Amino acid sequence: MKKLHTLSFALTFSLLLGCAAPETSPKKIDGAKVTASADAVSGPTLEAPATSTRFFDTVNSPAILIFTETRDWRHEEGIVGGSLAIMKAAKEMGYGYFSTEHSAIFNAKELEKFEIVVFNNMTGDALTKPQEEAFEAWLAEGKGAVLIHGSGDSSHQDWGFYHNEMLGATFVSHPADPQFQDARVEVLNRAHPVMAGIGQDFIAHEEWYTFAAPPSDDFIMLAGLDESTYSPVNNVWGDVSDLRMGPEPEDHPVIWARCLGENQSRVVYTAMGHRHETYDAREATLILNNALNWTARKTDPESQGCQK
């Protein structure tokens, strides 16, 4: 649970929403006069409405919420590239979208607009306890979530539900020299809707995460790494570290899914997405699009992808 106020969200709103100019007209929201100008930067607190912008009202529902707050490592390129890829996918889906770095959006009233939340490289303790509870209640209604790359690092352990039930694995480290490597990704569940259109395997260039252990059997493994095709024994910040998880792709999963609760809320994690170049590759973009469609229940109406 975070305690500090976020003071820099307004600028990021403008950048991520692609606004040509900052909104300047005052607008009444919940009785408070706020603007999206510099005044707003020093005004709102975590408890203030996150959507103090007229753009929010124009977003068609159903919609995708793209959440990119970083209180730990910031993946500048992955945030921008991933958000753009999600916006393109949303248009193809006929969905609206809204991106923000301000966690106050996690309240029952505003979450209602969305079918899925994408945690695009969210890092650190980004949500307050009430915000975490609002998200969990919303997800339990049968909504969906997609977690991208840094959203699966080890900086979210204060939020037990997120770390244990949605992510299910604890990040250890990644190679640093070289940091980005080609590796063979093997599809572990070719019948799953998230892997539709992907062959048995593909080569991807990425910063490859290693986890303490694969997620439990509660999760559905979708793809894993062939460690013989890159260097998992690597220089990590000055120390040579052995980041091997095992010789088989099943030993080193990098994409997985879960269906949670009685409404089988769909969640997908993909470890790919450090840089914007990730989305230059057909496979990563297709997997992202598939994950958005599946978690939004646009595909797989019988929930066969929830079968383990």
Q: Which residues bind Zn ion (CB under 5 A)?
A: 207, 274
Nearest approach, Cβ of 152 to Zn ion (angstroms)? Answer: 10
Q: What minimum distance in Å lies between the beta carbon of 207 and Zn ion?
A: 5
- Smaller CB separation from Zn ion, 159 or 171: 171
CA distances from 196 to 105, 166, 222, 259, 271 (A): 32, 22, 11, 18, 18
Least distance from Zn ion to the Cβ atom of residue 206, Å: 9
- In Å, what is the CA distance from 10 to each residue of 44, 53, 119, 125, 171? 10, 9, 19, 19, 31
* CA atoms of 30 and 162, how far apart (whole Å): 29
- Residue among 161 and 180 whose Cβ is closer to Zn ion: 180
Q: Which is nearer to Zn ion, 249 or 273 (CB)?
A: 273
Q: How far apart are alpha carbons 159 and 236 in whole angstroms?
A: 27
Tokens standing for residue 103: 């966690």
Decide whether 206 or 283 has the Cβ nearer to Zn ion: 206
CB of 273 to Zn ion, least distance (A): 8
Beta strand pairing status for 171-173 and 210-211? antiparallel
Rounded to a whole number of angstroms, the minimum distance from the CB of residue 234 to Zn ion is: 14
Q: Which is nearer to Zn ion, 79 or 145 (CB)?
A: 79
- Write the CB contacts of 42 (distance below 8 Å, at least 6 apart in sequence): 7
